[in-house]
Amino acid sequence: MSEPKTLQEAVIYFSNPDNCLSYLAAKRWPNGVTCPACGSEKVTFNTSRRIWQCSSHHPKRQFSVKVGTIFEDSAVPLDKWLVAVWMITNCKNGVSSYEVGRALGVTQKTAWFMMHRIRLVLQDETGGMLGGEVEVDETYIGGKARNMHNEKRRARIIGTGGAGKVAVMGLLERRGRVRTKIVPNIRKPMLQAHVREHVTPGSSVFTDALQSYDGLEQEYIHQVIDHAECYAKENVHTNGLENYWSLLKRGIRGTYVSVEPFHLFRYLDEQAFRFNNREDRDDGDRFNLAMSKIIGKRLTWDHLTGKSLQPETSAN
């Protein structure tokens, strides 16, 4: 059977441990298996234990295909891991840890940890500047007051508008990529610094009438749409980003229901990955792209839950 193209095919294909091992080994070592510790090509495979052993004598000379990836030190078998990666990379509005737990036969806590480890590889690493026509907008993300318990509402809702919510800035290159970032405020120095960091000077920048964007015309072709009057004048609009905010919030409210602010950036990475790879890629392509980035990534439980200050780091 060739590599899967649908979720059903993925479940069947990866139910075979040999397929999981050969698929992941090919992704990790396309030119042949090498020792993660010393780089030696002189390794032997132990069929019964399904691990390799380096011929050189050094610590950690025995290694599995999981070593040096987001799967390292996980007791969850690869057939469950790979199906979880498939689900999160291809479910349009995301997939909750409760659903993943039920589908894979693991606890919700285990599924939640798995999903956050997968989100680590979905971060945008392409770099480069956005250019051409770029929409810039900001939004607030947080629970609706009417859905909160009275005590939580009193603690969080301390004003109107975005009070008690998290500000997120977005930049969308039309017919291209989107980038989002949590910002502490939406004042001019903050927003304009991010525009200059990510957008090539001379590009056409479209914003709403927020005064924080005043002054961008010195470096960009800055065009403004006042939403108090209308939402579009020919090609002057931010409708692309408005659509993206709608997709993002639909996933958060409808799928995840409640997202803590200190984990929000992970969900932003997840949604941006699917959006940026929505065209010219089928489900198998998005899965393969995510799997190509699993190497050298590590997220521990202590770091995820705030018990450790160690950064998300290379697994090697």
Give CA–CA dist 51/32, Å, rounded. Answer: 14
At 316 the pLDDT is: 40
Cβ atoms within 10 Å of 200's Cβ, excluding its own:
15
Location of structure tokens 């606890």: 107
- Domain locations in the chain? 7-32+66-122+294-301, 133-259
Q: Mind listing the pLDDT tens digit for each residue in 68-101? A: 999 999 999 999 999 999 999 999 889 999 999 9
Give CA–CA dist 125/102, Å, rounded. Answer: 32
Q: Are 103 and 115 in contact (CB under 8 A)?
A: no
Task: Output the furthest CA–CA distance in the chain (Å, rounded).
Answer: 73
The pTM is what? 0.86
Give CA–CA dist 159/199, Å, rounded. Answer: 33
State the fold for domain 133-259: Nucleotidyltransferase; domain 5 (3.30.420)
Give CA–CA dist 89/207, Å, rounded. Answer: 30
Give CA–CA dist 15/82, Å, rounded. Answer: 10
282: closest CA among 1, 9, 22? 9
141: closest CA among 262, 34, 311, 47? 262
Tell me the pLDDT of the chain averaged across its residues: 90
Q: Mind listing the pLDDT tens digit for each residue in 10-55? A: 999 999 999 999 999 999 999 999 999 999 999 999 999 999 999 9
170: closest CA among 130, 208, 136, 207? 136
* 157 has pLDDT over 70: no
